[in-house]
A and B are shown apart, each in its own frame.
Chain A
Amino acid sequence: MRVQQPAATGLDLERVDGRAKVLGLAPYAYEHPAENPTYLYPVQSTIARGRITAIDTAAAETMDGVVAVLTHLNAPRLADAADKELAVLQSDEVGFRGQFVAAVVADSPEAAREAAARVRVQYHQEPHHAALRADHEDLYKPEQINAGLETDTQAGDPDAALASAAVVVDRTYTTPAEHNNPMEPHTTVAQWEGDRLLVFDSTQAVHNARKTLAPLFDVEVEQIRVVAPHVGGGFGSKGLPHAHVVLTALAAKVTGGRPVKYALTRQQMFFLAGYRTPTIQRLQLGASPDGRISVLTHDVVEQTSAIKEFAEQTAGISRMMYSADHRRTTHRLASLDVPVPSWMRAPGECPGSFGLEVAMDELAEACGIDPIELRVRNEPAIDPETGKPFASRHLLACLREGARRFGWERRNAQPGTVLVDGWRTGIGVAASTYPARRQPANTARIRFTADGFYEVQIGAVDLGTGAWTALTQIAAEALECGPEQVRLQIGDTDLPVATVAGGSSGTASWGSAIIGAAQMFRKEHGGFPSAGDTSEGDGERNPAGKNYALHSFGAQFAEVQVHADTGEIRVSRMLGVYSAGRIINPRTARSQFLGGMTMGIGMALHEQSVMDERFGMIVNHDFADYHVPSNADIRQLEAFWLEEVDEHAGPLGARGIGEIGIVGAAAAVANAAYNATGIRVRDLPLTADKFLT
């Protein structure tokens, strides 16, 4: 496959949407003009499981400005109620606390909210289970896990190998529930014009959104238009439509054609917009005294909502990361009366790397080997799971480059020995990886305009990842013109079909389609097109996927300070080196890596959604109590990448950079904290009390 020579790509082009954003003029879902809008405010269940026995809406209905009060008794029927997360107001069943049980539509947000407060709901409460436990009685094995992977895998005889291994690490690690918390709350504005639905949505995938909605409302996909030119972050939570999208579109059926606007509050997002499942991971590593791993098992227990299955592929990382002749990975689910978990930045690899990479640190210590050297000794020649060669595996190069830049040689192998001004200080490392995916079913269209611009159209979405900029560059390069000659149009189902901005697949997938369209355009119209000349092109499934294992790799280094008296913990330095194929735009890429690492620091230090199992209630459901990292938490933070072009990653040579920055980050921090204190914390987050002995 021919790899495009870097021209416009690789350029340090400023974000094309930067100007609109710094002025506050870029429109997000709530901000598109809507004529004579109505506003929705929901009523959420106050029990975790049971049935609604009565709803009194009289007081709400008679309030000034109220257009409609919807409940399961009067809401329009959906054509398909199989997906219980999306089947809002279709039955009297309550599956988790915080679920929608009614909604008010009114002329003003104030009236909607006030009326919602007057809706009285009575329940028949049934016993519920809301806490994840390793010994949960009805653990079950899902058919498959996220990304269509096998639930369990096994090679060799792990149990026998463990029994005979010279050195064994057998530990259990836990990660808590975490919430994506993009800064823009999930928002939907929906309007029916006859049997056509117009939706302004904060979504990572306009075409997927309408594909999900169409059967629910019994319309063809062409009857739905979803628009999302700017999205204020998502990190996975806006990848799949959640209940509020359906609720808003449903409510728009009873307003006589008036648009309905609904933005979730930050508090509501904790129940209704997806989150990362908590995980309980048992890792067993068996090795020879010199650290060569013969057996690796990774057994995961995690939760799903009883109303809809989501199975995080937590142990997936252990299938390809290190060589071990004997391997086992398993995933078991506890089906609980809790909100529906979903995608959050690097599902699978992110929590899985915490277990695996801390276990590696423990093994290094047990063998008395440097943690980097341990990884060198266990570097596989081929993908252990599939037997395919890696298209590009530069983990060791990342580790070495990172060690050099970070000053790894200054690490004191003996933990708990460095004390500076009352702070115990240490450094740690962890490896990172993320699969390089490319989605088929992407089409791009290129049209030459009368005023001499190339209009490049694709239904891609920029949720902050820099797609506006990267796709402009890719188009310019493929068309061999300047970026200023490209007029990119994205974020609209009226544009050619595109796949989700997720799984680090967006740029590579959409970019391939744009390159295809550009090649077609030049073939059909040559170098001197006339106004109106148009061509389309598709991105195809990456054929290299058949013969190669396609992954990105990285190395995460952290320096941590733990206060000797209070246990307060700070990440004083963090550095990542990544191998992610070609970098389309260094400026946006750097931000993506740093942003991922920062979320990893948040995961390490603060992020935890606390479930009060008595009520099925997430108690810290706002920013006052769910802490995402703030400016002061992030001190020295640096990201570097290897200069490379992955010839197997498609015509772009790029592999995607959205997730890899978070993978391994929390493990690096935990390993550094151990190096600082000699206290091994295996349960995230690393709060101060865990360092007081």
Chain B
Amino acid sequence: MTTINIDGSDYEVAAGENLLKAALSHHQDLPYFCWHPSLGSVGACRQCAVVQYQNPEDTRGRLVMACMTPVVDGMRVSVKAPNAVGFRAGVIEWLMENHPHDCPVCEEGGECHLQDMTVMTGHTSRRYRGQKRTFENQYLGPFLNHEMNRCITCYRCVRYYRDYAGGTDLQALGSRDRMYFGRFEDGVLDNIFAGNLVEVCPTGVFTDKPFSRTYTRKWDLQSAPSVCQGCSAGCNIFASERYGKLKRVHNRYHKDINGYFLCDRGRFGSSFVNSDLRLRQAGVRIEADLFQQVSIEAATQHLRDLADSGDVVGIGSPRASLEDNFALMSLVGEANFSCGMNDVEAAMMDQIFDLYAKTPDAVATITALERADVTLVFGDDPMNAAPRVALAIRQAARNVHFDMAVQAGVPTWQDAGVRGHAQHALSPLYIATPLPTGLDDVARQTSHAAPADLAVLGLQIADQIASPPSDDAEGFVANIARDLLAAQHPTCVCGTASAEPAVMQAFAAIITALIKAGRKPQMLCTSAEVNSFGVRRFAGLSLQGALDRMQQGSNAMVLQNDLYRREIPAMVSAALAGAGRVLVLDSFETATANAADIVLPVTTYAEHTGTVVNCEGRAQRAYQVFEAEGQDIQPAWRWLSDFEHIDDVLHACAALPAFEGLEAVSPEAGYRTATNSRVPRATHRFSGRTAATAHVSVHEPKTSVDTDTPFSFSMEGENTGQAGALIPYVWSPGWNSNQSLFKFQQEVGGSLTGGEPGVRLGFAPSKSSADGSASSRTKPATGEVNLIPHPQTFGSDELSSLVGAIVERCAPPTLWLNPDDARALGLSSRDGATWPDAKTTYLVQLSDQVTPGNALASVGVGTGQSVLPRDAVTLIKDSAFTPPPDLIARG
């Protein structure tokens, strides 16, 4: 620790840190623009000036940029010195010269870092009378608006997009007062983390396009701490509502998971809550295509009858909360409950549980992946499965930069210095996946092969770790083995997306070999859905077993699960047709709901409180944001059980051995802040409370009392000093923008003052005995290929695909083929291809990275159905097919 003196008071700060970060860690109000906790310092904006004094006698001092100045013991500085204050005011006046002063029509207004800094520095009146430069803005795709006139040239956008997220199509163009931050030409921003620009840009240049269409000021939003439903990463989000609609999602900092950034599937896909396909009434089928609306009581009676029928299977879901799954499991009994994943995925989850249980210390957090010095990405592309994980891996590829910087005596936060010194140096990142990934550009070596072949490769890597290769042995396998053995933090990432248990088996062999060799590996396994790691903890039937029983006439209750996305459609149809009565509880009209006898509407993550478990085994609570529209909608657990409060369900669930420690997930409904207050969902400036529903009744409605959580559905309460899991939005006096986060942190980039949200659960070996031997893929005959599912970032995930902006961003259903196979099949690039029971025609893409004899098909997009690994499929050319235009112009 180092002691420094700021304006007469001593502060303990971390040694070697920069002065800006140190001051902010002590919650000082020091203006800045270009510095960002995850991007480091470049000293570009000159906004963070302070006065540094030479010695105790020095009364004049000299101006320094706090973000570029390392702290040293005994250092004396002033934020308040008149020349520092004057300099900062001058800087902002000059940054504001060309600014259009259009805050009233700017989506950033009210939560703008530029507004905050302008007010903080006291620049309140414009003196510049010259002509302002004006720019033309660009079309950047469905997610982001562009309004370049608001730019203050801080360079944060390109430093984030290009340097941090690896994008190449957003650049700094031009020079001097005509700097332009944009693309080469109009077009969709290519990078799947582009949405973070909304929060990274301190002004209103990049704003959330879908949000701006039905815009609400931050102060009018009602928000709650929530968890993204987009994948198993479990990124923390602030979800915000107004007028019964989920308006937008912002990043909610979690030190171990998402840090400061989300992926675009999460940020823009979370508004599926507003889908037109929402179910809002309970219905009973009276004719083939006709449901009749029934009351809650009647619907509940149907549910009871089914539960009492003596022969009912319950199919849970990895996209439903623990509480909802638990309620269903309790109702039908463990022996009749299935977790709702298909058997291949369930088997792979069991393999992960076994591996995590055997080597608990090796299970990494997501941000720990950033600290890897050698990384192996094995089996599937995390850019598709769990995008935020891929962003963490990208940072690991840069670790060598920091080692080089330390050796050269450059502080690691000196971003330009560190990058300039390291140039193109990269830490070893190896990638073994079926197709090239979005991380290949920073990989040292890649190998792309069909999953079954990857499994063989993985076992070879494990062998070579056990009997290390000689120093001069060359090749992919030898290089990986050697580098992993030499690494301080050898890091391996795998997932279930390959749908090949042998891949997971090989992955486990690599981890085991590293541990046997005395190394301390870290690993993480991802899966597609938000609660895969939670629901698989319930024992019970396989999905196949459940479908078999249905086919033989059992009744069924299906919880938030479209079975057509899980299993072969024909098999699902047969089960639904053969079943007695089928009751579906879901939030959306799905193919399964349409085939049901009884449909009950349930709330989404934004309208109820629920617990989910992410790929690190961390249980987290997503709190209810607002009350669902439609009297009949209730949380599934309310339909399914007699529990009164969500905490009661959680306690009952926590009594199961697989959920030991779950109660600690977050504070319960009775929690109050130090002043005995609730935490308000609405902001202190929330407006229109008495008028918002005046078109219905002029009487102000009574605000609902929340009996399930410590939050209020109003502005009454205290949003400060609470537990870390209970922050509904960040806001602090003088800091209206999301930059106010530092006031909720113990130190910048560190823990939240109220502690980290969530609790990591232990893992027990699974009861099943998936052997994970490579499935015997037969070599297909001529004219046939083996089909391999290939999930996409956009379009494979069920829920986000309900959102228009995400649909716009989806690539068409695509089939990747090896050029040799394509030639033999008479197919060329951009042809249409299909197979006998395919639901759509796929766009053919050729890649010599596809192992001959295989075809990779994008999952979900255009069909809403599963693609399961299948041998010997005959591909047919669809000559009526016209290829869609290539939407993402690369540039």
Bound together: no
Q: Which residues of A contact B (CB under 8 A)?
A: none
Q: Which residues of B contact A (CB under 8 A)?
A: none
